[in-house]
């Protein structure tokens, strides 16, 4: 077993070196990567079983965050299902009003993500995030009783405001509990809540569609009412179930707390104030812009396009309302499987960029099929599979690559909020990709998605080159501090 362990380690280092050599020219990558790995492994105190401690953390941190975001994302995108359940007729929506209703969500969502992460640090996660999800559920419940277009716009705006802190805040919390080579599996588990929401949303909408007319309400109102009530209950539960940052976790011993803080590197400037100057200093570096554009193009625009308009796209294949909702599930199930496979191997090799490139290629192939093939249902449906797999499978890898290359509380607080807020500017574009005027082929929507994915691919290359240049600098200076190196 010892020999096998050494050969596996050697194989992993060889693969990483081979891929990284494309970025780092004459640098002795294999030696550097080995040194980096050694320097990043904090010695485990004799009284701590690291594997048992990691399992303990998993059970306390991951399930509650997962449940919260299943509810939050489901509430955010369930309007896509509602649009197929008589909502436009009942609220007398005309033209692009449904698209505007989708878009207005992103205005407060984008603007308040960095402030929300600052408040998260001040009020503690179990207070701030549970308050956000509780507010979100109340607004979702109210959305089930809107009478007109103005009411829909108002509720969508406040939904965006309430949810602004949940996604970036959760990734910030996760980055404080795990080191680089174990982070992606946890990021992927959490991000899979997005995929599960899309899968479950279709099944739930199918079940709720049978309540059409109950108590005088059409099915789309029941979608908002029932999901709103469930989210309110989750908000109350999360206050007691959510854990805070490692230094505040009473369920760890003092020795365990010190070990977690040391191995994750969050002890750098723990009490540094987050000021506008510090934010501008962070953004002045080229890496945040490249990382933001990568997330914006390769993940967010196609992700929201398919989350909001997946049922609409499937409906063009001539399925009934119930069949439409059911046929949105399998592509997301395939995306979930690929997401978890990529997370395992990416953590195993401690490499991100090759897996991101793989997902982008799959996505491009799927979008090309959807754009060019018509009246061949099986081929079109296969294209939808590829597009969904390519988009959703690399989402957590992109996020993990960026956030885990940040150091300390301050950088991760600013950086996680920056990535999610900048990337979600793509949500505004995504809501106008599939217009009713372009039905049934949606050539414009697929073209926009394809162009943005290519932008994301180019940004990923730039981001990787910037990281490699920084690593080369550290190598030239003879610096071996693992936290100063960036993973590729």
Q: State yes or no: pLDDT of 481 exceeds 60.
A: no
Give the residue among 212, 433, 439 at the shortest CA–CA distance from 322. 212
Task: Quickly state the pLDDT bin for 479 (edges 50, 70, 90).
Answer: low
For 79-104, write each residue's pLDDT tens digit.
877 887 889 999 999 888 988 998 89
The DSSP letter of residue 44 is P
Tell which wins on pLDDT, 266 or 154.
154
C-alpha 298/C-alpha 451 separation (Å) is 10
Phi and psi dihedrals of 165, rounded to 5?
Answer: -95, -10
C-alpha 425/C-alpha 299 separation (Å) is 12
Hey, is 92 helix, strand or coil?
coil
Cis link prior to 464 (omega < 30° from 0)?
Answer: no
For 298-325, write each residue's pLDDT tens digit.
999 998 888 777 777 777 766 666 677 6
Say if CB 86 and CB 220 are below 8 A apart. yes
Give the residue among 252, 195, 201, 236 at the shortest CA–CA distance from 61. 252
CATH of domain 28-40+61-484: 1.20.1250.20
C-alpha 450/C-alpha 63 separation (Å) is 34
Check residue 442 and give its pLDDT.
86
Check residue 323 and give its pLDDT.
74
C-alpha 197/C-alpha 172 separation (Å) is 21
The arithmetic mean of pLDDT across residues 430-456, rounded, is: 88
Phi and psi dihedrals of 98, rounded to 5?
Answer: -65, -35
Say if CB 313 and CB 434 are below 8 A apart. yes
For 205-214, write each residue's pLDDT tens digit.
778 888 888 9
Long-range CB pairs of 134-137 (<8 Å, 24+ gap) are 134/232, 134/235, 134/236, 135/162, 135/235, 136/71, 136/72, 136/75, 136/162, 136/163, 136/166, 136/231, 136/235, 137/71, 137/75, 137/228, 137/229, 137/230, 137/231, 137/232, 137/233, 137/234, 137/235
Check residue 430 and give its pLDDT.
86
Check residue 307 and give its pLDDT.
76
Check residue 441 and give its pLDDT.
84
pTM: 0.82
Task: Quickly state the pLDDT bin for 4 (edges 50, 70, 90).
Answer: very low
CB neighbours of 192 closer than 8 A, spacing ≥ 6? 66, 336, 339, 340, 396
What crossing angle do the helices spanning 180-208 and 329-349 adopt, rounded to 10°? 170
Q: State yes or no: pLDDT of 365 exceeds 90.
A: yes
């Amino acid at each position: 077993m010892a020999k096998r362990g050494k050969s596996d380690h050697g194989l992993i280092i060889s693969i990483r070196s081979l891929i990284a050599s494309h970025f780092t020219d004459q640098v002795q990558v294999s030696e550097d990567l080995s040194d980096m790995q050694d320097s990043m492994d904090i010695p485990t105190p004799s009284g701590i079983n690291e594997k048992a401690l990691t399992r303990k953390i998993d059970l306390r941190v991951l399930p509650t965050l997962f449940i919260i975001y299943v509810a939050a994302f489901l509430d955010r995108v369930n309007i896509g299902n509602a649009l197929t359940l008589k909502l436009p007729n009942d609220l007398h929506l005309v033209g692009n009003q449904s698209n505007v209703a989708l878009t207005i969500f992103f205005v407060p969502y984008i603007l308040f993500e960095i402030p929300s992460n600052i408040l998260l640090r001040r009020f503690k996660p179990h207070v701030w995030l549970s308050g956000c999800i509780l507010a979100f559920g109340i607004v979702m419940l109210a959305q089930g009783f809107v009478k007109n277009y103005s009411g829909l716009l108002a509720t969508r705006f406040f939904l965006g405001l309430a949810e602004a802190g949940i996604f970036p805040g959760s990734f910030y919390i996760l980055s404080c509990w795990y080191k680089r080579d174990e982070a992606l599996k946890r990021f992927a588990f959490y991000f899979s809540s997005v995929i599960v929401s899309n899968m479950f949303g279709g099944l739930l909408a199918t079940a709720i569609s049978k309540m059409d007319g109950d108590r005088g309400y059409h099915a789309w109102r029941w979608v908002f009412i029932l999901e709103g009530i469930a989210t309110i209950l989750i908000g109350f539960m999360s206050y007691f179930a959510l854990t805070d940052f490692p230094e505040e976790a009473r369920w760890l011993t003092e020795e365990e707390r010190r070990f977690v803080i040391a191995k994750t590197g969050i002890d750098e400037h723990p009490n540094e104030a987050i000021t506008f100057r510090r934010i501008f200093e962070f953004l002045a570096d080229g890496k945040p812009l490249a990382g933001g554009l990568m997330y914006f193009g390769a993940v967010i625009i196609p992700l929201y396009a398919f989350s909001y308009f997946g049922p609409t796209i499937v409906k063009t294949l001539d399925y009934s309302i119930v069949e439409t909702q059911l046929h949105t599930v399998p592509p997301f199930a395939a995306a979930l499987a690929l997401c978890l496979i990529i997370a395992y191997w990416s953590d195993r090799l401690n490499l991100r960029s090759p897996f991101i490139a793989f997902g982008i290629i799959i996505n491009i192939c799927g979008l090309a099929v959807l754009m060019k093939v018509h009246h061949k249902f099986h081929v079109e449906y296969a294209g939808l599979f590829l597009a969904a797999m390519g988009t959703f499978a690399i989402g957590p890898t992109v996020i993990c690559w960026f956030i885990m290359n940040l150091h300390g509380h301050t950088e991760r607080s600013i950086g996680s909020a920056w990535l999610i807020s900048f990337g979600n500017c793509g949500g505004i574009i995504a809501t106008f990709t599939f217009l009713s005027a372009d039905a049934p082929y949606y050539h414009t929507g697929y073209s926009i998605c394809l162009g943005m994915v290519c932008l994301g691919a180019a940004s990923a290359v730039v981001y990787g080159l910037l990281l490699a240049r920084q690593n080369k600098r550290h190598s030239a200076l003879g610096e071996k501090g693992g936290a100063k190196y960036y993973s590729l």
